[in-house]
Amino acid sequence: MFNFTSKKDAFEERSTADITLEMTGEPDTGKTAPTGKSNGRKSLGGGMNVISAGFNEVRSSVSSATKTLVHLGQNEAGSDFMDNIDFESRFESRVSINQVEELTEMSEEEMVAHLKAGDFSTTALPTAHAVIASCMIAPQDGNVDFVEGMWVERLGPDMTWHLDRVTTVHKIMEDNVDWSELKEGEDAPWTAFYDFHSQKMLNKAKLRHPEEGLKRVFGCNPWIWQQYAVLKVEEQIRFQQNHFKDFDKIDIDMLAKSEWDVFVNHEGNEDLKARIEDPRFHNAQKALLHHILSPFRVMEGLRNAGTEKENPGFATDWDMSDERLSAYTYLGVLGSGWLVPLLCVFIQFSAPLLLGSYALDNSSRKDSGWCDDSETWSDDKIKGKFMIFTVVILYLSKIVPDAVFNFLRSVGEGTDAHSKVMALRKLIWDRGEDFNLGQMVGYKLDLYMNTSYVCLLYTLNLFILFTTVDVIEMMLNAMAVEFVLKMDEEFAATDWWDPDRRWIRAGALELTIGSTLRKSHLSSAVKFEKHYHVSLGALTKALGEDAVVNGFLLQDKELAEKDSVNSLYLSPEDAVNLRLAKIAKKNNLDDQQFVKPVVSFGILSKIIHYIAPEQAPNTLFNRYSDLYCWSRWHKIMYSGLASIPSVESIYASEDNKKISPNDHLLTQEKRDTVSFANYSRNVERKAVKYILSILTGVEILRGPALFMKRGEFFKVLYRTADGVVMWFNVVVQVAFPLFILLSAVAVPSCY
């Protein structure tokens, strides 16, 4: 159902006139509000309030909104294509509410029926009918992009897109509406937010039309282009402050759109252009553009991290002032900067062990029995007992929930910047596409030091308190533990570490590039065929046997180096810059404005790259340079290798009346009963499923098996060792709350 609500109004901070205007539609001056500019609130049973658009046509606008009418694009003759959609197979029926007053007149049974009709079941599976229809329709209400029951993809906290159904649409009036500027009969500006079973109040920026539906209309070539465009973005951007191509200055969204225009208008893409310009697919064309550019909107949000500039849908999600970003996070993201993380590991393990050893050596309990009421403890017994009981209660009320929440955030279930960075890291880790040892070690240190290490450290602190008599000494020991715990984060918070958080923002941008790229698909002809539906025969004919059968398809370092300086694949601006760079180098002039600099984080990495320049591909914004085989990309994109579905495959009947249930063009193997890309049932239980997969050994064996197939035996050993640590990590976190509960009784009793 549509909800008409205002944005988190703080009534205590607003004037009486403002509140009167909002509640009645009339200012308290006694003057009548202008016609068409009132804003009424109707009180319903149970204390539910609904704010409707208080204009003279409010009833008709509410009616049209709640009916969620949709329309299709029109053909050249202007006839409506509404009948082309089989609505019965697309959405469940709903109880239409034409007027708000009808709710108050409903019986309890009628209200239950209405709620059930609007509760789109989580057990409903997507169908070819539904995903295509969701791309072909457009809401009649111009302020709403999606309607209830539509299948769309939403960006989850784990930074992956999930195919899901819209359950509720909220239209919220924007703040600071200037009523005097509105014309007669003009509606006030609204913003639409969308609810799903797992997430609520998402804006358009975090939604897109389903990949499966769009591929059934346009084929897979746009998704091949998306991979190409992501590489083009990495090639263009730099980490070079005050340069116009610095990642903080270049407009990534505009760069991607310009590449899209070149792609669509290329002479080798006439069939795709014809489909895009076909008036029958007008709405699908808009949906395709919004979908295919979604990764670049995420990147643009990172570029404007902490602001609302140009991209309010994503900017505030990336507030890099997050205190949980630590020295380990930097190592895990950038893959360099080893010195401080190693220092932190040494201190964070040695200091608690020394403190615990000292407490044990100076404790009288080891001789008299750990739970013995020794006379030597009688003087401060009551004070000490009360202090340690207070600490245990603190652990129960704060530390245990923090430990659980930290684990959820570490696996990508949080909403802060650190959680999103960890979610991106997990995506790359799960694919086995970490580019160096530093990134692998840093990611796992960041994960374990924020989860099981915290539990072990507080357990050790309880032991130290248990062996301590003096209350002041108890407090000092507890403070020392807190200092050690936060050391890695304190380093990252210093002014000299990363001013303006440029390094971590750039690293997160590179992670977004890496998570969008499917490197394993681009370097394997078999996987490329399976994912993009381009036959091996067609690939071999276009690229040659060496690339398809004997090589790594689009991953060829030698060819990439040649294509990167080939004028056929350079823009006029890049061709000029390349020539200027050659002239500057020849005449011993400064060429920094024309050549992307090799940059790396940390002193050790800078020394390594100075001694061994061949390591440059591992540096920031150069990590996927071995995929810059533009000649091969062009042959794939502009040779018609990825076919476009016929109209007959979209519409079943000759008169184009119903969408076909044809289930071809699936993008992944069937699992259970669903084979749609980005769809997984019970996604809200992801963290629980992840824990169970670790405890049962499934997740532990998956990593070594992946690298065994690739023949990377060092990573097999690393993943095996990490699997053991990962299992121990989960066991510690499961046992920690139980240990604290036991301590709440045992420790004060034995003290």
Write the CA distances from 272 to 198, 217, 348, 646, integer angstroms: 35, 10, 58, 11
Q: Of 477, 445, 450, which Cα lies nearest the Cα of 464? A: 477
Q: Which residue has the higher pLDDT, 529 or 378?
A: 529
Residue 15, pLDDT score: 36
Residue 616, pLDDT score: 59
Cα–Cα distance between 667 and 677 in angstroms, integer? Answer: 6
Instruction: Dump the DSSP string for 305-352.
Output: TTS-SS-TTTGGGG-TT-TT--HHHHHHHHS---HHHHHHHHHHHHHH
Instruction: Read off the pLDDT of each residue in 18-29 and give the average, rounded to a whole number.
Output: 36
Instruction: Read off the pLDDT of each residue in 655-680 and give the average, rounded to a whole number.
Output: 52
Exposed/middle/buried for residue 277 (C-beta within 10 Å: 0-12, 13-18, 19+): exposed
Question: Would you tell me how many other CB atoms lie within 10 Å of the CB of residue 324?
Answer: 20
pLDDT for 94-139, tens place per residue?
333 333 455 566 677 776 666 665 555 555 678 787 888 888 887 7
> Where is average pLDDT lowest: 46-60, 200-214, 257-271, 628-642?
46-60
Let me know: does 186 contact 453? Beta carbons within 8 Å: no
Cα–Cα distance between 450 and 472 in angstroms, integer? Answer: 28
Query: Containing H/E element for 50?
Result: strand 49-51
**Is pLDDT above 70 for 240?**
yes
**Is pLDDT above 50 for 74?**
no
Q: Which residue has the higher pLDDT, 579 or 306?
A: 579
**Is pLDDT above 50 for 54?**
no
Residue 38, pLDDT score: 35
Q: Going by DSSP bridges, is the β-strand pair 168-173/2-6 parallel, antiparallel, or unpaired?
A: parallel
Residue 142, pLDDT score: 62
* Structure token digits, residue 88: 């019965």
Q: Of 146, 159, 270, 163, which Cα lies nearest the Cα of 213? A: 163
Residue 532, pLDDT score: 93
Residue 614, pLDDT score: 64
* Structure token digits, residue 259: 């590449």
**Is pLDDT above 70 for 44?**
no
Q: Which residue has the higher pLDDT, 137 or 687?
A: 137
pLDDT for 154-163, tens place per residue?
998 888 899 9
* Structure token digits, residue 721: 């060792």
Highest mean pLDDT among 6-20, 437-451, 635-649: 437-451
Cα–Cα distance between 740 and 750 in angstroms, integer? Answer: 15
**Is pLDDT above 90 for 302?**
no
Residue 594, pLDDT score: 85
Highest mean pLDDT among 135-149, 360-374, 497-511: 497-511
> Where is average pLDDT lowest: 109-123, 140-154, 185-199?
109-123
**Is pLDDT above 50 for 47?**
no
**Is pLDDT above 60 for 661?**
no
**Is pLDDT above 60 for 673?**
no
Cα–Cα distance between 745 and 727 in angstroms, integer? Answer: 28
Q: In which band, very low, low, confident or very high, does the pLDDT at 333 lie, cut at 50, 70 and 90?
A: very high
Write the CA distances from 490 to 64, 125, 242, integer angstroms: 55, 47, 28
Q: In which band, very low, low, confident or very high, does the pLDDT at 374 lie, cut at 50, 70 and 90?
A: very low
pLDDT for 546-594, tens place per residue?
888 777 899 999 999 999 999 889 888 888 888 888 888 888 887 778 8
Residue 521, pLDDT score: 92
Cα–Cα distance between 177 and 188 in angstroms, integer? Answer: 7
Residue 157, pLDDT score: 85
**Is pLDDT above 60 for 82?**
no
> Where is average pLDDT lowest: 90-99, 106-115, 160-169, 294-303?
90-99
Cα–Cα distance between 291 and 190 in angstroms, integer? Answer: 23
Q: In which band, very low, low, confident or very high, does the pLDDT at 41 lie, cut at 50, 70 and 90?
A: very low
Residue 447, pLDDT score: 92
**Is pLDDT above 50 for 90?**
no
Q: Where are the alpha helices (DSSP H) in 486-571?
A: 487-493, 502-516, 519-522, 525-532, 536-543, 545, 557-563
Residue 170 pairs in a beta bridge with 3, 193
pLDDT for 312-327, tens place per residue?
555 456 878 888 899 9
Residue 335, pLDDT score: 92
**Is pLDDT above 60 for 467?**
yes
pLDDT for 394-433, tens place per residue?
888 888 888 777 777 766 667 788 889 999 999 999 999 9
Percent of the chain with pLDDT over 70: 70
pLDDT for 724-751, tens place per residue?
999 999 999 888 888 888 877 776 666 5
**Is pLDDT above 80 for 247?**
yes
Question: Would you tell me how many other CB atoms lie within 10 Å of the CB of residue 195?
Answer: 16
What global pTM score does this model have? 0.80
* Structure token digits, residue 462: 């309880």
Average pLDDT taken over every residue of the chain: 76
pLDDT for 425-457, tens place per residue?
999 999 999 988 999 999 999 999 988 999 999
* Structure token digits, residue 327: 């020295």
Residue 113, pLDDT score: 67
CA dihedral 617, 621, 624, 625 (to 10 degrees): -60
Cα–Cα distance between 26 and 40 in angstroms, integer? Answer: 9
